[in-house]
Amino acid sequence: MEQQYLPAERSDFIGIENIIHLATGGEPPLLARHRGAFEKFARDKAAGMSGYARHWELLEGVRNKAAGFFNLNIGDIGLIGNASEGIVKVLSSIDWHEGDNVVISELDYTSGRYALGNLKRLGVEVRMVPKTGWYIDTDDLKNACDDKTRVLYISQVNATTGQFIDISNLSEHLKSSKVALILDASHALGIVPVQGHLADFTVSSCYKFALGIHEGIFAWNQSRTRDFIPFGVGWSSATAGDKRDEFFLKPGAKRVEYGNAGHLGAYLLDESLDYLNNFGLDQISNHAREMCKKVLDGLKTTHLEIITPQNPDEIAGNVAFAFKDPESIVKKAEADGILVWGDNDRVRISAHIFTTATDVEVFLDKLPKYLD
């Protein structure tokens, strides 16, 4: 198929014909082509065993397409409920000992902080690395690791600030260690290439820039980490042995799929990944960064505290500024037909393939009114 160019047509999406949508980092619109995916799923669901078999056949196609986005192989990809679940699957596979430690930035995502923090009851030390302003420095994370470190968790794109973090140096530093590097790609998938090949495990939601709904992807980089036995098991993640209680875990990341996948979500994600591939991630990344730079340039003319890095190489699809009452801005903007995301004492503006320069200009023109 001939490559398409950005910005994408608003008519490709449901519900954004007459609004300015700058909230993809929270919830994106669905695609118009998802209507056909809903219909296809419903027909297969009504088709008995043959339709059920088609659910699983489609899932294999989704694995293959997702592998390309994660820079991994099809056998490395599993479909799960959400990214938070994926973090716990990794942590449950580790034989913890009192005195072990885990490392995470205090600025990183809630699910990572909570999941690692829960290990305290096993005698594990949680090393919450202090932020430097609103910036995560990977050198600080490296320096927090020692021979007792078992896990380091990091988001490729920070949910709070929008900082894009290249994990290349971190990955190389940890490669020969016993540290499992968990990469959260929830704000990277669909907007920048995911560095799954540089992590031991990658987790991601599908409902943000990937243009899917609420389910997740789990990636196990088998070329980097060979041993992974999650605590959980189910009929879908194993094959039967000779005895009733005997089983063998399936190869690759299928071992994290304990039961039926979220088949409806897979049908929608299948269409979303095809749609994104029509444009290509390089073009998508360049467009999003160009739009984000326009947002940053506009915010610099205000008194607001910008918490997103100014370096274009350190942004992806989100720009944010600190604000004590973010919900007030969200409500005022929504009244003007503009959607942004505001919580945790900050407002986040997201750019994706349908974002235009005019969208950004209209928001920036109206922003002074929202600050009153």
User: Is this model's pTM higher than 0.95 or not?
Assistant: yes
Percentage of residues of the chain with pLDDT beyond 90: 97
Q: What is the pLDDT of residue 2?
A: 66
Q: Which of 327, 332, 271, 216 is CA-nearest to residue 14?
A: 271
Mean pLDDT of 250-275: 97
Whether residue 200 contacts residue 72, with contact meaning beta carbons closer than 8 Å, is answered with no
Encode pLDDT of 114-138 as tens digits.
999 999 999 999 999 998 899 999 9
Mean pLDDT of 213-220: 97
Record the tokens describing residue 41, joined without a space: 């799923």
Contacts of 88 (CB under 8 A, 6+ apart): 115
Is the pLDDT at 77 greater than 60, yes or no? Answer: yes
The arrangement of secondary structure in 36-275, i.e. its CATH architecture, is 3-Layer(aba) Sandwich (3.40)
In degrees and rounded to multiples of 5, residue 63 shows phi and psi of -55, -45
In degrees and rounded to multiples of 5, residue 42 shows phi and psi of -65, -40
Fold of 10-30+280-371: Aspartate Aminotransferase, domain 1 (3.90.1150)
Encode pLDDT of 353-367 as tens digits.
999 999 999 999 999
Domain with CATH 3.90.1150.10 in the chain: 10-30+280-371
Encode pLDDT of 310-353 as tens digits.
999 999 999 999 999 999 999 999 999 999 999 999 999 999 99
Record the tokens describing residue 171, joined without a space: 């990955």
Cα separation of 112 and 108, whole Å? 7
Domain with CATH 3.40.640.10 in the chain: 36-275
